[in-house]
Copies of this chain bind each other. A is one copy, B any other.
Amino acid sequence: MYDGYSSWVEVEHYLKESKFPTAILPIGSVEAHGPHLPLLTDSIIADAIAREVGKKVNAFVLPVFHYGTLWSLKDFPGSTWIKSDTLGKVIYEVGSVLATHGFKLFVTINAHVGNNDAIKEGLRALIKDFPSLNILMFNPDLIFETGRKYIESKPWYKMYYHADEIETSLLLFLAPESVRMDQATKDYPEIPLNFDYKFIPWKKLTKRGVIGDPTLASREKGKKIFEEIVKKIVDVIDKEITYLIESSAKTA
**Interface range on chain A (Cβ under 8 Å from partner):** 35 or more
Binds B, one of A49-57, A76-84, A147-155, A217-225: A76-84
Chain B CB within 8 A of A67 CB? yes
Pick the contact of A124 from B37, B71, B86, B90 — CB < 8 Å?
B71
Pick the contact of A5 from B15, B40, B127, B138 — CB < 8 Å?
B40
- Copies of this protein in the assembly total 6
Q: Are B117 and A78 in contact (CB under 8 A)?
A: no
Residues of chain B within 8 A of A175, CB atoms compared = 5
| Contact A236/B197 with A65-B66, A97-B79 known, Cβ cut-off 8 Å | yes
Chain B CB within 8 A of A227 CB? no
Chain B CB within 8 A of A7 CB? yes
Pick the contact of A63 from B4, B43, B243 — CB < 8 Å?
B43
Chain B CB within 8 A of A216 CB? no
Chain B CB within 8 A of A211 CB? no
Q: Are A11 and B39 in contact (CB under 8 A)?
A: yes
Report Cα–Cα, A106/B236, bound state, in Å.
43
Pick the contact of A117 from B62, B117, B236 — CB < 8 Å?
B117
A229: min CB distance to chain B, Å: 13
Q: Are A38 and B6 in contact (CB under 8 A)?
A: yes
Chain B CB within 8 A of A249 CB? no
A121: min CB distance to chain B, Å: 6
Chain B CB within 8 A of A186 CB? no
Chain B CB within 8 A of A135 CB? yes
Q: Are A82 and B94 in contact (CB under 8 A)?
A: yes
Q: Name 10 A/B residue pairs within 8 A (Cβ), A-sorted.
A: A5-B40, A7-B34, A64-B66, A74-B97, A80-B97, A85-B85, A85-B121, A86-B90, A193-B240, A194-B236
